[in-house]
Chain A
Amino acid sequence: MSHSTHPAAEFTASGFIPSGQIQLGVFFQGVNSGTVWKAAESGSQTDFESFRRIAQTAERGLFAAFFLGEGLRLREHLGRPHALDVAGRPDAQTALAALAAVTTKIGLVATQNTTYNDPADLAHRLSTLDLLSGGRAAWNIVTTDNAWTGANFRRGGYLDHADRYTHAEAFVETAKRIWDAWDDGAVAGSASAERWSAEGSVRRVRHTGRHYTVDVTPRLPRSAQYRPVLFQAGDSPEGRDFAARQADVIFSAHPQLDDALEFRRDIVERTLRAGRGAQDVKIMPASEFILAATPREALEKKAWVRSLQIGPQQAIAYLEQFWGRELQGYDPDGPLPDIDPVVEETSETRGSGFHGAKARQLADQWRAEATEKGLSIRQFVSAKTSRGDSTFTGSYTEVADRLSEYARTGAVDGFNISPWLIPSGLDDIVNHLVPELQERGVYPTEYAGSTLRENLGLATPAHTGASVEVGIDSSSVTAQA
């Protein structure tokens, strides 16, 4: 496997050293067209048994982490809830607390929004999950700013788009201070101690900022992994810098090898600029796996999966989201609509990152693209929505070989798999792909430890120490904005 032009050599100057290993995570996302609900073997998206089975299968395959997304408003289509895709999901931390009882090693990652949570409450709940899981909790940090989501909350849509990272950063800083507020060993070792917690071992945390005010004496001590691991998915330059300063793991959108290497270089650079070590931020791109015993079977399976992900109704509905009007008269197997969108900008109600695009411009671009490639509506939408570049299709050995390249070059630390079938979607990965990876020496053969931090190879955060006043004031936060 040695090459004379070792891609990892490019990292040498930065101090980044590839581990030669990859890890896997599973993202139980559900609520979009990626999940096949039409097959006979498609199970419930809400019953706890589906969650238990995915999590326990992942743990059998030594996965590092089990992720849950968060929903704060149902996706809509032309002003009504979207009917065609999987919808509805549980509160992430409630489901993960239950999974903590039936798993022992896998990390439990809750996607939680900084905009519609309070820092003291969210930090307390994440601490609870961390303690109940023996140090396996993580927070996937996301931000929202639209009033459409805000319509479900007391505070409404109060945040400007431009402010969302400033707000998120102050939020995360405050949460870290809350997790830092108890000294190590603060809790009495036995019933015969004088006090439940040592005198002066818990510090009050105060924050006064533009968007919220916190004054709290944190209620929980540190966990076995010190504090929850932080994941973040922002991809804009701002988002990347935010991750480089604050996150332990980036849930990235760059799964292709070349692109992933470029992303790694960029993140290492930003991480070093932020005053952290080259290895301090792990990268796990979102991905989809379509596997079979032979390459040909895998391709056939892929065609079947795609046909179920985007049926004729979904193809038309997808375009309607961008056109802002009904397009029921158009043939899903015909060309893209010749009429123009009726909206200026596409709406946020899809619940994804597509909103705000200039609709007319987008339509022209898409029509040109479809004509050039000779694609029907259905083919075009299938290509657009399948996140083709994040799909690994092939035989178990082919895909294991491909993934070994990622391990060897250090392009990523692992992959976050979105299974397209619930609850059996990890079975072939765990039964067939994982052993192939283990044979190639690029995948763990046991859990490194019992906490998520240990299993991801992350260092314990630096202790603040008892003598430092942890409370922060508004000036120290705005200075970082």
Chain B
Amino acid sequence: MSSHSAQDGPREHGLLLLELDGAGSHPAAWRVSRTAPAAVLGPEHLRGAVLAAESAGFHAATFSDPGMPAPGHPDAAARLNALQRAAFAGPVTRSLALIPEVDTAYTEPFHISTQLASLDYVSGGRAGWLVAASSSAADAAAVGRDTVRGDRLSREAADSIEVSRRLWDSWEDNAVIRDVPTGRYLDVDKLHYIDVENGSYSVKGPSIIPRPPQGQLPVLAPAGLLTAEAVAAGAADALLVSAPTPGLLAAELAATRAGLAAGGDGPALIAELDVVLDSRGQPAAERLAGLNGHTPWQSPRAQFIGSAAGLTDLLTEVLAWAEGVRLHPAVLDTDLEELTRLVLPELRRRGVLAPTSPDATFRDQLGLARPASRYAAASSAPGAEN
């Protein structure tokens, strides 16, 4: 992985991720969107959004999976399943990494693992996983489970990641041998039971799908969700870092970096940033005031409200401290247009962005080598049983 110090200056390594939920990240975005409310749930909106993000030069799209806002709220909008939106985008795009948010608290780890591996297949190795752990009582009630809180959220997330990672390794890369003389489609010695027992549940394995193209999908987690031990053990490949204001992002990134185990390859850091830009003669602050007049944007992230030039400078500075920035546009069509026209070209000119390539996997983008299966060494050792 790339080096992590700010002293390097612009590194041509910066990744830009774009959150593509609904009409935009602001809850009232639909009121000013050029897409009709129902059309936001249709295939053409999604196709248009991922293609626009890809041609703008974004490295990745994330697909958040928020629960419904409180029923009855005037801005409560319907949401499509995040993983399936990402899957739909697979054959439509060529270079964009596709990163759905998938909950770990109320889901079956075996299903998640299969679904994410399948996403890696339909995207040709461009899948990632944004780990979430829902503490919402509504999400728990939907599946008839008790609400997961506190330390258990962190543990459920780590447990689920561990199950997925083991299942992705449970078929070695060359397990499908198609050996006609012996009649064997599989080399059974290259398939492995994972036999995970974590106190809450057990999963036997092996996976139902062969090892995904990337071997291991990159796992992204909000900083603070996983314990320092889990992060040190490699549970996450990237951490999403939030700060109350843009000015505090650099300090927060430095503090997060300092908290990681010294030495070795730590996770990449990706800064979280809400974005409202001046657009078509309308100042950003005015746009935001209009939206907030309907529903205030209660975001846990730093917010940039201003000109494209100002954002370009901020991103240049933040990308000296982080491997990437995830942008949450207030209104997708309006803000993406400004980003595409003014911000990404200038960042590229300044040399702070990593190149995009149609052949790159998401691991390639993150500078991660393709790992061998953890079980490969065990099975090639003489007398090993697994």
Known contacts being A94-B83, A102-B91, A314-B183, is A132 close to B206, with CB within 8 Å? no
A–B pairs, 25, beta carbons within 8 Å: A48-B90, A83-B185, A83-B186, A84-B183, A84-B185, A87-B186, A88-B210, A91-B111, A91-B209, A94-B115, A97-B85, A120-B143, A129-B84, A154-B200, A187-B38, A190-B36, A196-B76, A212-B144, A214-B143, A215-B144, A216-B138, A219-B79, A221-B38, A311-B183, A313-B184
B309 within 8 A of A: no
Residue total for A at the interface (Cβ-Cβ under 8 A): 77
Nearest-CB distance from B186 to chain A (Å)? 5
Q: Which residues of A contact B30 (CB under 8 A)?
A: 188, 191, 196
B177-197 contact mask (Cβ, 8 Å, vs A): 1 or 0:
010101111111001000000
A1 within 8 A of B: no
Which A residues are within 8 Å of any B CB, using their own CB? 37-38, 42, 46-48, 52, 71-74, 80-91, 93-95, 97-102, 116-118, 120-121, 124-125, 128-129, 131-134, 151-154, 156, 187-197, 199, 202, 204, 212-217, 219-221, 311-314
Majority SS at the chain A contact face = loop
B122 within 8 A of A: yes
B304 within 8 A of A: no
B2 within 8 A of A: no
- Select B77's contact among A87, A91, A196, beta carbons within 8 Å: A196
Q: Are A191 and B81 in contact (CB under 8 A)?
A: no
Q: Are B76 and A197 in contact (CB under 8 A)?
A: yes
B143-156 contact mask (Cβ, 8 Å, vs A): 1 or 0:
11000000000000
Q: Are A125 and B122 in contact (CB under 8 A)?
A: no
- Select A151's contact among B85, B202, B210, beta carbons within 8 Å: B202
Known contacts being A80-B188, A187-B37, A214-B144, is A202 close to B71, with CB within 8 Å? yes
B271-304 contact mask (Cβ, 8 Å, vs A): 1 or 0:
0000000000000000000000000000000000
Q: Are A132 and B121 in contact (CB under 8 A)?
A: no
Q: Are B183 and A313 in contact (CB under 8 A)?
A: yes
Q: Which residues of A contact B72 (CB under 8 A)?
A: 199
Known contacts being A47-B121, A219-B68, is A81 close to B188, with CB within 8 Å? yes
Q: Which residues of B contact A80 (CB under 8 A)?
A: 188
Known contacts being A100-B88, A197-B76, is A134 close to B142, with CB within 8 Å? no
Q: CA A116 – CA B112 in complex, angstroms?
A: 12
| Nearest A residue (CB) for B46 | A132
Known contacts being A38-B178, A188-B37, A214-B142, is A91 close to B80, with CB within 8 Å? no
B70-96 contact mask (Cβ, 8 Å, vs A): 1 or 0:
011011111111011101111110000
Q: CA A86 – CA B183 in complex, angstroms?
A: 11
Known contacts being A46-B209, A97-B88, is A220 close to B80, with CB within 8 Å? yes
Q: Are A101 and B88 in contact (CB under 8 A)?
A: yes
